[in-house]
């Protein structure tokens, strides 16, 4: 069945350093979504990518969707302590109702 | 305020004692879903519902039941809980099941089965 893997599982960075998490799907995706879950909280939608090669930015966050629509990345420039949390990608294959979540990357930022 | 609510937020129970976790949304969403979150495994879908009286299995449905009698409610039922169902559970909803809709998550229910 469809699988979505994320790496790394954990990342510890010093405040001000950059951070990237990668998401890889076993099947071609119709779209991919990214969510952030703060410690003790629930996942909150960040963004959705639909087109092959699409790049979107939200302030210090840059999201990319691969040309083959099987991978995606989230890059945070100059991390801040407010970026702490777990970042999930979620992909939907064509002709399916299911949104498959990645395993998540837990980001810790040290001041 | 648009939201997804879950009750209870925390529950400690014993093996075999039937329980229900309620989920309700006030956004008139058609699509609702249950996930469990376990360390290192991310969010795994248990069941989902595309509309009233329409439910289907997700990736880990064993040991769970759901019903969708009203659009706003989507309870999760554990007929005979076992310790391997100890987890953090999230209910989520979205406008419909089409690809381009974000999911809104409830606050979560932390379940411990002894």
What is d(CA A84, CA B107) in angstroms, rounded to the nearest whole number? 18
Q: Check residue B99 and give its pLDDT.
A: 60
Q: Check residue B31 and give its pLDDT.
A: 93
Parallel, antiparallel or unpaired: strands B54-57 and B42-51: antiparallel
Contact B35 A101 (CB under 8 A): yes
Å between B40 CA and nearest CA of chain A: 6
Q: What residues of chain B lie within 8 A of the CB of A99, using their CB?
A: 33, 45, 103
CB atoms within 10 A of CB B108: 20
In the predicted structure, residue B94 carries a pLDDT above the cut 80: yes
Mean pLDDT (chain B, rounded): 94
Å between B61 CA and nearest CA of chain A: 14
Q: pLDDT by residue (tens digit) across B30-55?
A: 999 999 999 888 999 999 999 999 99
Contact A102 B42 (CB under 8 A): yes
Percent of chain B with pLDDT over 90: 87
In this prediction, residue B2 has a pLDDT band, given cuts at 50, 70 and 90, of: confident
Q: Which of A91, A99, A105, A106 to probe the B interface (max B CBs under 10 A)?
A: A99
The answer to whether the beta carbons of residues A90 and A81 sit under 8 Å apart is no
Q: What residues of chain B lie within 8 A of the CB of A100, using their CB?
A: 45, 59
If we measure between CA atoms, which residue out of A19, A22, A37, A18 comes closest to residue A70? A22
DSSP string, B1-50: ---EEEE-SEEEE-TT--EEEEEEESS--SEEEEEEEETTTEEEEEEEEE
Which residues share a beta bridge with B87? Answer: B111
pLDDT average, residue stretch A75-81:
98
CB atoms within 10 A of CB B11: 16
Contact A97 B90 (CB under 8 A): no
What is d(CA A51, CA A109) in angstroms, rounded to the nearest whole number? 31
pLDDT average, residue stretch B4-16:
97
Pick from A31, A97, A103: CB nearest B42: A103
In the predicted structure, residue A1 carries a pLDDT above the cut 80: no
């Amino acid at each position: 069945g469809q699988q979505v893997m994320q790496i790394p599982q954990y990342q510890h960075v010093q405040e001000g350093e950059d951070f990237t998490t990668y998401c890889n799907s076993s099947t071609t995706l119709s779209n991919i979504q990214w969510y952030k879950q703060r410690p003790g909280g629930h996942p909150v939608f960040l963004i959705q990518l639909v087109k092959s090669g699409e790049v979107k930015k939200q302030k210090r966050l840059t999201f990319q969707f691969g040309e083959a629509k099987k991978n995606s990345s989230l890059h945070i420039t100059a991390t801040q302590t407010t970026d702490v949390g777990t970042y999930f990608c979620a992909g939907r294959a064509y002709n399916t109702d299911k949104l498959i979540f990645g395993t998540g990357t837990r980001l810790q930022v040290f001041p | 305020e648009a939201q997804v609510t879950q009750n209870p937020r925390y529950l400690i129970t014993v093996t075999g004692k039937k329980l229900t976790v309620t989920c309700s949304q006030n956004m008139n969403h058609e699509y609702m879903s249950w996930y469990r979150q376990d360390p290192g495994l991310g969010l795994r879908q248990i069941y989902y519902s595309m509309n009233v009286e329409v439910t289907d299995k997700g990736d880990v449905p064993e040991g769970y039941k759901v019903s969708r009698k009203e659009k706003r409610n989507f309870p999760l039922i554990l007929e005979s809980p076992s310790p391997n169902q100890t987890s953090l559970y999230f209910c989520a909803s979205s406008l419909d099941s089409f690809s381009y809709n974000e999911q809104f998550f409830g606050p979560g229910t932390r379940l411990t089965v002894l």
